[in-house]
Amino acid sequence: MNQTHTTHPQPRQGSAPVLEVRALSKRFGGLVATDQVSLDVRVGEVHALIGPNGAGKTTLVHQLSGTLAPDAGQIVFRGNDITRLPAHARVLRGLVRSYQITSIFRQHSVLDNVALAVQARSGSSFRFWHAVRNEQTLFDEARTIVARVGLADRADVLAANLAHGEQRQLEVGLAVATRPAMLLLDEPMAGMGPEESERLIPLIDGLRQEVSILLIEHDMDAVFRLADRISVLVSGRVIATGTPEEIRANADVKRAYLGDELESATGGQA
Amino acid sequence: MSGLFLFEQALNGLQFGLMLFLLAAGLTLVFGIMDTINLAHGSLYMLGAYMTATLAQATGSFVVAVPLALVATAAIGMLLELAVLRRLYTRDHMSQVLATFALILIANDSVRMIWGPQPISLNPPAALAGPIDLFPGMSYSSYRLAIIVVGLAVAALLYLLVTRTRTGMLVRAGASNREMATAMGTNIKVLFTCVFGFGAALCALAGAMLGPILAVQVGMGEDILILAFVVIVIGGIGSIRGALVGSLLVGLVDTLGRTFLPMILRETFSPQVASNAGPALASILIYVLMAAVLFWKPQGLFPARG
Amino acid sequence: MQRALTLAALALAIAFPIVAAPLDLDFYIGFASRVMIYAIAATSLNLILGYGGMVSFGHAAFFGTGAYVVAIAMTHGIDSLWASWPLAMAVSGVVALGIGAISLRTRGVYFIMITLAFAQMMFFVFIGLKAYGGEEGLNMPYRSLIGLGLNLKDDATFYYVVLALLTATVYLLRRLIDSRFGRVVQAIRENEARMETIGFSTYRYKLICFVIAGMVCGLAGALIANQTRYVNPNLMHWIVSGDMMIMIILGGLGYRFGGVLGAIVMLVLDEAISPYTTYSKIVIGFVLLAVVLFAPRGLAGLFDRKAARAAGSH
């Protein structure tokens, strides 16, 4: 199972974090969704965030991406406080998310999907007269990204007509096309069979050269193969952060969450 | 003198606001529970007024006519729900707007066919025709006072229904959380039809009560429908409490604005400015109010949904 | 194929006034102008509604504003179309900017109700404007002056001006929807949240689109004022907004000629039934209800797959 495992380049010690989350809190009525969450993602690392359902992972992603305002705390991205920045402005600064529930442009072709994301950061879109389809460079770039996420031969297919796994690949492709400095991947393997996951893992692994990644994922096999460090979120609080080995050995984590899941991840088939 | 006048205008505002509430309450529930925009709500109000007028003439009694008209309008409302609106719940808002707009066109022409294009008259019961002394030096239309009493009674009844009965709680839960309403099981279709019929009856009551004050004519439903929309935007979709507060706000601001704004303009500028700009300014006050609420609270004053 | 059809229709439209006189169809030159004016208005609504997915129920506000600007300008001695028509577009654009800036902060049924309410507010403002006729409205002693040795008083000349502007509008719409901006607007209709998370400030794009539509509709208003030489607040009544919506649902949402087709169908239908009954609206009501319930893609959708796709994605 682990033969395809790639090397973990050790994150440079002491390198400045690209993302710092400081004591982020969000409550809905009496329910505390994120409780003083602090974590940091270093430049070039894959930092996985795991935890049981309802731990607050999605709420955290919403706050990081700007669709939900935290009640307290701070989000610092590349040295700037972005806590109050609207979602689209965060994207332009390089912090980009993907969705757990596929969110693509279903009535556009695969290529047009990606071209939209390329368009978002290359040149003004307040251009009203010239047809986009004549913009050679835009589509050349989009084609490169389509190929990179493994959809080259599906470029002209309507996104709605893709298989589920292919839609997940496009989902990641849309985020990649914005040329992020950091990716928030919200359960990229959601709903994927083992075979489909096998296609996505090398893709994410290949991204670590150019972007930092916060990976939220339930597939423990994928997490332990990809992550440089792992944080564990339980009931809205980070109970541990460390290397995969440290997390595996952590008694609190075992007790609160990992017990069974860890067995299956290390023992072979997830 | 001016204090009494202000009090009288405030009563008028309250009276108008309470009638608006009757429309807005039904509308906001349909919005909240069924996530459906129903433009034809105003047509039910119009039908209620027309049927009250006809029944009052036939029976010779306004008091007998009103409950009959309520039942008839509720029946029409439920028929509409079964025949048309039910098909629209799962459709997009655009389709809902167009289909219910079509219902307005159909209702207006049907009324013209049956009752003719001219406004018809609806008289208040004779016992309530004259003014009444509220306290020494202050007399007020007894019919308007009756409207206030009826309005307050219905508001109280609605409050009890929604907070104290099981069905009411179902409805309220549904209005603030649609998934919950759908998850509540098999009776949901019947519940929708009943809520719709109930909303129609409230419309008819408003139409019957306002008929003697405003004109009973084609188009009366549309004007008040837009005010009810403003009320809902201010109060927050799906919230009965929001509908009540919004109605009273709109009723008071509109009534007081129309009376006092031209007076204020006359004092501060000139009679000419007052007569030129007064009516125009007064008529936009509630929209300014709506814009202000939206600016500070885009979900309305009492957002029912989290 | 479509290109050939379009050119044929255009040729027919150009030929119409020439053949109308000998065939004793002069009356229909004015009627055809009216249809084309509504086609411009409906096409502008189609931009925001069909392509942009913004269900605006207050489009008549811009129609009426454009009309009133031309009429009011004339009472102040501005009677050249080169001045008053652009002014009508500019003022309508400013009104659209104001209404759009507030209502686009909301979505769903809120947006529908708020655009409706603001349009109704404009309606009441003009009823209250006693200086410009109030409820009675305002007469225009003559049509705007065009210069160039032409006179819009001649119905055929006016017809050709309207035809030219309609052609320009449809062409502009085509360029716009194929442009970068148009791509963005259509993608927002499909998935606004995702547009935000790939870096578009969707509010800005929607607002600009709203303003463009408002300006084009203002131009249509300027034309209708000239056509009838009379303006009144009913031009911005919400029933007119509803009529425009009916036109594009009949013609085809998000279909380039949807507004044109819809205006033709709706007004011809109205014209055809009105001699037989005073209750033409009830017929239109039932037709509309049937279309919404049973053929939600509009007439164009019955023939055109692209329009069907656009309407289906709502």
In SS3 terms, chain C reads as: CHHHHHHHHHHHHHHHHHHHCCCCCCHHHHHHHHHHHHHHHHHHHHHHHHHCCCCCCCCHHHHHHHHHHHHHHHHCCCCEHHHHHHHHHHHHHHHHHHHHHHHCCCCCHHHHHHHHHHHHHHHHHHHHCHHHCHHHCEECCCCCECCCCCCCCCHHHHHHHHHHHHHHHHHHHHHHHHEHHHHHHHHHHHCHHHHHHCCCCHHHHHHHHHHHHHHHHHHHHHHHHHHHCEECHHHHCHHHHHHHHHHHHHHCCCCCCHHHHHHHHHHHHHHHHCCCCCCHHHHHHHHHHHHHHHCCCHHHHHHCHHHHHHHHCC
* Rounded-to-integer distance, Cα C66 and Cα C230, Å: 12
Residues found in chain B = 306
Instruction: Find all residues with CB under 8 Å of B161, minimum gap 6, and list them.
Output: B167, B168
* Interface predicted TM-score (ipTM): 0.84
**Which residue type is seen at C167?**
T
Q: Count each helix (H run) and each strand (E run) in chain A, helices first.
A: 10, 10
Report chain B's C-alpha Rg in angstroms.
20
pLDDT band at residue B292 using 50, 70 and 90 as cut-offs: confident
Nearest-CA distance C28 → chain B (Å): 27
Residues of C in contact with B31 (CB under 8 A): 109
Nearest-CA distance B112 → chain C (Å): 8
What pLDDT is stored for residue C130 in this prediction?
A: 81
Integer angstrom CA distances of residue C78 from A33, C73, C74, C83, C242 = 63, 5, 5, 7, 32
Q: Any chain C CB within 8 A of the CB of A164?
A: no
Interval B109-124: pLDDT, tens: 999 999 998 999 888 8
Strand, coil or helix: B39: coil
- B229/C293 CB distance under 8 A: no
What pLDDT is stored for residue C254 in this prediction?
A: 84
* Rounded-to-integer distance, Cα C314 and Cα B32, Å: 20
Angle at B256 between CA B251 and CA B261, to 5 degrees: 135
Residues of C in contact with A117 (CB under 8 A): 198-199
* Rounded-to-integer distance, Cα C313 and Cα C311, Å: 6
Pairing of strands A46-50, A212-216: parallel
Q: Is the pLDDT of residue A262 over 70?
A: no
* Rounded-to-integer distance, Cα C23 and Cα C27, Å: 11
Residues of B in contact with C282 (CB under 8 A): 105-106, 109-110, 113
Nearest-CA distance C314 → chain B (Å): 7
Q: For residue C205, what are its two tokens?
A: 């794009």
Short-list C125, C267, C254, CA closest to C190: C254
Q: Any chain C CB within 8 A of the CB of A174?
A: yes
CA-based end-to-end distance of chain B: 47
**Which residue type is seen at A238?**
V
pTM: 0.88
Q: For residue C2, what are its two tokens?
A: 């479509």
**Residue A240, number of CB atoms within 10 A of its CB:** 18
Greatest extent of chain B over all pairs of C-alpha atoms, in Å: 65
Integer angstrom CA distances of residue A18 from A24, A43, A239 = 17, 5, 21
Residues of A in contact with C180 (CB under 8 A): 119, 123-128, 130, 132, 135
Q: Any chain C CB within 8 A of the CB of A108?
A: yes
* Strands (DSSP E) found in A43-115: 46-50, 72-77, 80-81, 95-98
* Rounded-to-integer distance, Cα C243 and Cα C45, Å: 11
**Which residue type is seen at A18?**
V
Residue with tokens 């209404």: C99
What pLDDT is stored for residue B253 in this prediction?
A: 93
Q: Is the pLDDT of residue C311 over 60?
A: no
Mean per-residue pLDDT over chain C, rounded: 88
What pLDDT is stored for residue A261 in this prediction?
A: 59
Residues of C in contact with A104 (CB under 8 A): 191, 194
Residues of B in contact with C114 (CB under 8 A): 233, 290, 294
Integer angstrom CA distances of residue C138 from A65, B203, C99, C126, C234 = 54, 36, 25, 11, 12
Q: Any chain C CB within 8 A of the CB of A104?
A: yes
pLDDT band at residue A15 using 50, 70 and 90 as cut-offs: low
Q: Is the pLDDT of residue B276 over 60?
A: yes
* Domain annotation for chain A: domains and CATH numbers: 16-103+177-259 (3.40.50.300)
Q: What residue of B is the nearest CA neighbor of C49? A: B94
Buried b (16+ CB within 10 A) or exposed e, A157-187: bbbeebeebbbbbbbbbbbbbbbbbbbbbbb
C160 and C167 Cβ atoms separated by less than 8 Å: no
**H or E element: which one contains A238?**
strand A237-242
Q: What residue of A is the nearest CA neighbor of C179? A: A131
Q: For residue B19, what are its two tokens?
A: 């009638």
Q: For residue B18, what are its two tokens?
A: 């309470």
Q: What residue of A is the nearest CA neighbor of C188? A: A105
Q: Any chain C CB within 8 A of the CB of A191?
A: no
pLDDT band at residue A269 using 50, 70 and 90 as cut-offs: very low
Mean per-residue pLDDT over chain B, rounded: 86
* Rounded-to-integer distance, Cα C123 and Cα C233, Å: 6
Q: Is the pLDDT of residue B184 over 70?
A: no
Q: For residue B199, what are its two tokens?
A: 């909303």
* Rounded-to-integer distance, Cα B133 and Cα B24, Å: 31
pLDDT band at residue C300 using 50, 70 and 90 as cut-offs: low
* Rounded-to-integer distance, Cα A174 and Cα A177, Å: 5
- A88/C191 CB distance under 8 A: no
Q: Any chain C CB within 8 A of the CB of A134?
A: no
Q: What residue of C is the nearest CA neighbor of A102? A: C194
* Rounded-to-integer distance, Cα B107 and Cα B117, Å: 13
Q: Any chain A CB within 8 A of the CB of C211?
A: no
Q: Any chain C CB within 8 A of the CB of A136?
A: no
Nearest-CA distance C152 → chain B (Å): 33
pLDDT band at residue A33 using 50, 70 and 90 as cut-offs: confident
Residues of C in contact with A119 (CB under 8 A): 180, 183-184
- B232/C117 CB distance under 8 A: no
Of C253, C279, C292, the CB nearest to B113: C279
Residue with tokens 């004016």: C37
Integer angstrom CA distances of residue C166 from C44, C154, C208 = 11, 18, 21
Angle, in degrees to the nearest 10, between helices B220-235 and C238-251 = 90
Query: How many Cβ pairs within 8 Å bridge chains B and C?
Result: 129
C92 and C218 Cβ atoms separated by less than 8 Å: yes
* Rounded-to-integer distance, Cα B273 and Cα B269, Å: 6
* Rounded-to-integer distance, Cα B180 and Cα B153, Å: 30
Of C183, C191, C197, the CB nearest to A97: C197
Residues of C in contact with A103 (CB under 8 A): 191, 193-194, 197
Q: Any chain C CB within 8 A of the CB of A231?
A: no
- C197/A107 CB distance under 8 A: no
* Rounded-to-integer distance, Cα C9 and Cα C163, Å: 12
* Rounded-to-integer distance, Cα C281 and Cα C258, Å: 21
pLDDT band at residue B174 using 50, 70 and 90 as cut-offs: low
- C124/B284 CB distance under 8 A: yes
Q: Any chain C CB within 8 A of the CB of A103?
A: yes
Interval A117-175: pLDDT, tens: 999 988 788 888 888 888 889 999 999 999 999 899 999 999 999 998 899 999 999 99
Q: Is the pLDDT of residue B304 over 80?
A: no
* Rounded-to-integer distance, Cα A176 and Cα A170, Å: 9
Least confident residue range of B133-142, C183-192, C266-275: B133-142
**Residue A46, number of CB atoms within 10 A of its CB:** 27
